[in-house]
């Protein structure tokens, strides 16, 4: 059923600005509603197309609007900005959302389910703890550096730090030693919390059929599979695997003009978490241990022999992204190229 009204909603914490127009752009009404009255007002309206920016709480309100019978579309904020007229305010933003949504070529964001958002919260909680632990480790290394102890980067260097603090002949003042031991205790607590969340992610990845299928791809582990489930939209929204790789920012940035194609570095314009994990997985395959599993004469072996390691990793991450799209859309497990050729 086609909706004859489109309502742009500028979300906020307390006050929501609404701009309603017909599908031809004619203004129907403008309203400013409180958070409490917004849901009641939308429940009394006949089904309409509701458009919001994909920002904080947008997916929650999208689910609520769908429950009330409305059709919901989410737009990335940077696609709305060009349509804001002169001064920026809530009313102008709501109007710009409607104008942007009525463009035939506009791209929309798929609303996330509550389960998908909960997995994203778990994933981000682990990432936050990892960053906090890294900050503590760097603070500990900085303290030791002030007294002539140079410790390389990396969480695996904690054993060396323990030996320095345990040395009876060390020249560290008692106050500094106590502070370093306190930092070591905090790092241990963060590590315990990280391990708990890592276990939860691995358990969820083992239960989900899609995540299990993705882990059959070389270089894709439970974290990457869960990141795809938590942050990626439906794969049916992409025409091909290259579109998914472009959404992740794993394709060259274009500076083309006048019919001349100029390609630069990777665009990095997409989902950061999935892209980072794919590159890390690709780098693991290019390590001295991972290279043993690369068949001689394969595409990866040929490009690794003549290109820099990071460039090869980006190319392999792009290929992994296309493979992820193919496995999900075709509902198949990964098969190595040699087996595919022989089939």
Distance (Å, whole) CA 332 – CA 39? 42
Q: Which CATH superfamily is domain 5-101 in?
A: Ribonuclease H-like superfamily/Ribonuclease H (3.30.420.10)
Distance of CA 329 to CAs 117, 237, 239, Å? 22, 10, 10
pLDDT at site 24:
87
**Measured CA angle at 304 (ends 290, 321), to 5 deg:** 70
DSSP code per residue over 249-267:
T-SEEE--BTTB--EEEE-
Taking 60 as the threshold, does the pLDDT of residue 216 lie above it?
yes
Please name which of 326, 341, 122 lies closest in space to residue 213, comparing C-alpha atoms.
326
Higher model confidence: residue 91 or residue 340? 91
CA 58 to chain centre: 16
Out of 33-42, 108-117, 264-273, 305-314, least confident range: 264-273
Q: Strand 71-75: give its sheet, edge to edge.
A: 27-34, 15-22, 5-10, 49-53, 71-75
**Each residue of 77-129: pLDDT tens digit?**
999 999 998 888 999 999 999 999 999 999 999 999 999 999 999 999 999 99
Please report the pLDDT score of residue 7 as a whole number: 95
Kindly state the average pLDDT of the residues 254-273: 82
Distance in angstroms (rounded) separating the CA atoms of residues 32 and 152: 56
Q: What percent of the chain shows pLDDT beyond 90?
A: 66
Gap between the Cα atoms of 220 and 144, Å rounded: 37
The pLDDT of residue 197 is: 96
pLDDT digits (tens, 9 = 90+) for 186-209: 999 999 999 999 999 999 998 888
Higher pLDDT, 128 or 301: 128
Task: Give the CA distances from residue 182 to residues 115, 146, 161, 175, 328, in Å, rounded to whole numbers and listed in that order.
Answer: 38, 17, 13, 11, 47
Q: Which two tokens stand for residue 45?
A: 């309206």
According to the model, what pLDDT value does residue 42 have?
94
| Dist. CA 104–CA 248, nearest whole Å | 23
How many residues belong to the chain? 343
Structure tokens at 55: 């920002």
Q: What pLDDT score was predicted for residue 168?
A: 66
- Please enumerate in sequence order all residues whose Cβ is within 8 A of that of 114, keeping only pairs 6 or more positions apart, or say none: 63
**Beta bridge mates, 314:** none
How far apart are the C-alpha atoms of 149 and 228, rounded to whole Å?
41
Higher pLDDT, 140 or 263: 140
Spatial neighbors of 196 by CB under 8 A, at least 6 apart, are: none
More confident position, 123 or 263: 123
pLDDT band at 235 (very low <50, low <70, confident <90, very high): very high
Four-residue CA torsion sign, 81, 82, 83, 85: positive
**What is the pLDDT averaged over residues 257-273?**
83
CB atoms near residue 333 (< 10 Å): 12
Least trusted range by pLDDT, from 216-225, 238-247, 257-266 = 257-266
Q: What is the DSSP letter of 167?
A: -
Percent of the chain past pLDDT 70, that is, above it, reads 97
| HSE value, Cβ hemisphere, 13 Å, CA-based, for 137 | 22
User: If you average pLDDT over every residue of the chain, what do you get?
Assistant: 90
- The domain spans of the chain are 5-101, 114-207, 209-342
d(CA 108, CA 76): 7
Residue 326's Cα: distance from chain center in Å? 19
């Amino acid at each position: 059923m086609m909706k004859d009204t489109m309502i742009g909603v500028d979300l906020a914490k307390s006050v929501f600005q609404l701009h309603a127009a017909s599908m031809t752009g004619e203004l129907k009404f403008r309203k400013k509603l409180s958070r409490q009255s917004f849901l009641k007002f939308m429940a009394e309206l006949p089904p309409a197309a509701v458009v919001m920016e994909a920002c904080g709480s947008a997916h929650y309100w999208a689910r609520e609007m769908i429950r009330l019978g409305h059709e919901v579309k989410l737009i990335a904020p940077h696609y709305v900005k060009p349509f804001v007229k002169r001064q920026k305010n809530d009313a102008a933003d709501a109007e710009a959302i409607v104008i942007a949504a009525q463009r035939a070529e506009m791209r929309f964001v798929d609303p996330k389910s509550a389960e998908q958002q909960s997995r994203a919260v778990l994933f981000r909680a682990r990432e936050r703890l990892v960053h906090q632990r890294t900050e503590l480790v760097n603070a500990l290394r900085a303290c030791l550096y002030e007294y002539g102890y140079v410790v390389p980067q990396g969480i695996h260097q904690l054993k060396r730090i323990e030996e320095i603090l345990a040395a009876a002949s060390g020249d560290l003042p008692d106050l500094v030693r106590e502070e370093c031991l306190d930092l070591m205790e905090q790092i241990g607590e963060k590590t315990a919390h990280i391990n708990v969340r890592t276990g939860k992610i691995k358990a969820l990845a083992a239960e989900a059929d899609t995540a299990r299928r993705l882990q059959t791809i070389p270089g894709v582990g439970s974290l990457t599979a869960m990141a795809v489930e938590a942050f990626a939209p439906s794969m049916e929204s992409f025409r091909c695997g290259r579109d998914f790789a472009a959404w992740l920012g794993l394709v060259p940035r274009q500076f083309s003009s006048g019919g001349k194609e100029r390609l630069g570095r990777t665009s990095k314009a997409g989902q950061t978490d999935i892209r980072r994990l794919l590159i890390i997985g690709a780098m693991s395959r290019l390590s001295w241990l991972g290279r043993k599993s690369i068949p001689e004469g394969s595409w990866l072996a040929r490009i690794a022999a003549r290109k820099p390691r990071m460039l090869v990793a980006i190319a392999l991450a792009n290929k992994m992204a296309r493979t992820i799209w193919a496995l999900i859309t075709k509902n198949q497990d990964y098969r190595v190229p040699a087996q595919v050729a022989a089939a």
